[in-house]
Amino acid sequence: MEYHSALRYIYSLVDYEKKRIERYSPEEFRLERVAQFLKVLGNPQQSYPTIHIAGTKGKGSTSAMLASIARESNLKVGLYTSPHLHTYRERMQINNAPISRSEMAALVEEIQPRVKSIPGLTMFEVTTALAFLYFARHAVDLAVIEVGLGGRLDATNVITPLVSVITSLSLDHTYLLGDTLAEIAGEKAGIIKPGIPVVSAPQKAEALTVLRQTAETRTAPLTIVGQDWTWESKTQTLHGQTITARSTGSSPLEGDYDMPLLGDFQQENAATAIATAAVLKELGQDWITRETVKKGLEKTVWPGRMEILNHAPLLITDCAHNPYSAETLRSSLESWFPGQNWLLIYGASSDKDIPGMLKALFPITEHVIVTRSYHPRAAAPSALADQCANLGKGAEIAINANRAIEQACKKLKPGMGILVTGSIFLVAEIRELWSKDSTLNLPQGDWDDEPWEQ
């Protein structure tokens, strides 16, 4: 089987990343189905220790930080995340390298007959199983596993990790997970296992109450960042930032940490990663030292999160895709670039809270260009322009990301920067387009053609 044939096969399965999920229920998302499939594959997920990470915002960055820390400890580390930014192969990495095209094709060919034996397997369920099998075949020392959606019913929730992590919670996927923080926290708390330590990022009281109750019911020791661990910003530059992390107890991991990722929200993610590392050390994971945590954070790579692609003029991309993320992005931009005016290139999936995001971004926006990514769920630019008009702001329409960049460059005024946000798919397209036309040291020529583009 060739790689693109394998990719087409994966996307031929039920794919809730491309179409709206109508029901989020045990009948639709059956962990028993995933467990049955993994049993057929020999339960590969049981052959290595894991860290399990759920959350609304920051779970990808925190996963990348923890994987980087483990790599600096000379471990062979698997990292499973979703969705991907540029290539499907990014979803399953070992020591920062995505699975190769040839190995992915071989694994898909191997499991294809077994997929047919279990009716109803979805694209994400099969992808999760592929990652677990890939990590087992390469005998990883540790796998960092990011939840896809929710937690309780997510395909990844068949593992028993060393530690569970819940990053910042906010309203997103409300039609599936609930329209209150308590309901969403209940779904995310589904990854908490009996007796397994859990680390939570700072949460609003409504969400934290649910996490506390779940942890107590399941006798899972709970570490709360913002209480048991705190941090403060020390320095901020356009090349990175430094935080000081402190524990209310005595921990050898307290101290200053540098990281290349920008944004105030990354300080919280780093503190959560440090707190998780401290819990792992307490569990007897001797590969955790202050030096490995320090080096791991310094070397963390997680593109598309308040990422500066160009300095003059400023071009920043961020994958914010809900109102809370957009508000956090705006706050960080105001902090890091005080007084800066932004030309906003905006695109979003049609099932997102578009007015909420736009309201958060408009205060720092001088001009708006609305566009769409290649993704099937992307909202039409005309519909986005109508949303802007309803909020009292005009918007220029660009039919695609390429036109959006061209139009933005023509509209730029002295002192204005370009901000691209609203969708991970739009950010990916802009990064690819910009890399072709600039001298930036970005990956080139390795993007996968998705089936829906052909």
Q: Where in the sequence is the domain holding 356, given as residue range(s)? A: 307-453
Question: In the predicted model, is pLDDT for residue 377 greater than 90?
Answer: no
Q: H/E element holding 62?
A: helix 59-72
Domain boundary among 264, 298, 332: 298
The answer to whether residues 33 and 11 belong to one domain is: yes
Determine the Cα angle at 235 with ends 231 and 241, to 5°: 80
The CATH number linked to 367 is: 3.90.190.20
**Residues 218 and 326 placed together within one structural domain of the fold:** no
CA 102 to chain centre: 26
Does the structure show a pLDDT above 60 at 172? no
Number of structural domains found in the chain: 2
Q: pLDDT by residue (tens digit) across 286-323?
A: 999 999 999 999 999 999 999 999 888 899 999 998 89
Closest CA to 131 of 167, 163, 158: 158
Q: How many helices (H) and strands (E) does the chain have?
A: 15, 17
Q: Are residues 266 and 369 in the same domain?
A: no
- Asked if 113 and 256 sit in the same domain, the reply is yes
Within this chain, do residues 353 and 204 fall inside the same structural domain, yes or no?
A: no
Confidence of residue 382 (pLDDT cuts 50, 70, 90): very high
Look at the block and give the residue holding tokens 């661990």: 229
How far is the C-alpha of 64 from the C-alpha of 173, rounded, in Å? 23
Q: What is the mean pLDDT of residues 419-426?
A: 94
Give the mean model confidence (pLDDT) for residues 46-63. 95
pLDDT at 407: 93
In the three-class reduction of DSSP (H, G, I as helix; E, B as strand; rest coil), residue 181 is classed as: helix
pLDDT band at 442; cut points 50, 70, 90: very low
**Does residue 413 share a domain with residue 329?**
yes
What is the C-alpha to C-alpha distance for residues 81 and 73, in angstroms, rounded to an integer? 21
> What pLDDT, on a 0 to 100 scale, did the predictor assign at position 443?
34
Residue 71's nearest CA partner among 92, 52, 86, 93 is 93
Q: What is the pLDDT of residues 404-414, one digit of tens each?
A: 999 998 998 88
Contact (Cβ atoms closer than 8 angstroms) between residue 115 and residue 121: yes
Per the document, the length of the chain is 454
Q: How far apart are CA 186 and CA 213, in angstroms?
A: 10
Calculate mean pLDDT across residues 345-365.
93
Whether residue 396 is found in the same domain as residue 264:
no
Please check whether residues 321 and 269 belong to one and the same domain.
no
Q: What is the pLDDT of residues 174-202, one digit of tens each?
A: 445 657 889 899 999 999 999 999 999 99
Question: 77-80 and 92-94: which strand pairing?
Answer: antiparallel
Residues 266 and 318 in one domain: no
Last residue of a domain, one of 265, 298, 331: 298
pLDDT at 29 over 70: no
| Domain match, 236 and 348 both | no
pLDDT of residue 311: 87
Which of 271, 298, 325 corresponds to the end of one domain? 298
Q: What is the predicted pLDDT for the residue at 453?
A: 32
Judgement on whether residues 268 and 344 belong to the same structural domain of the protein: no
Amino acid at 254: E
Taking 60 as the threshold, does the pLDDT of residue 417 lie above it?
yes
SS3 category, 400: coil
CATH number at residue 237: 3.40.1190.10
Q: How far apart are CA 209 and CA 207, in angstroms?
A: 5
Determine the pLDDT at residue 450: 47
In 3D space, the residue among 159, 131, 134 whose CA is nearest the CA of residue 54 turns out to be 159
Same domain, 46 and 154: yes
Band the pLDDT of 16: cuts 50, 70, 90. Answer: low
Non-local CB neighbours of 274 within 8 Å, separated by 6+ positions: 229, 231, 245, 253, 257, 293, 297
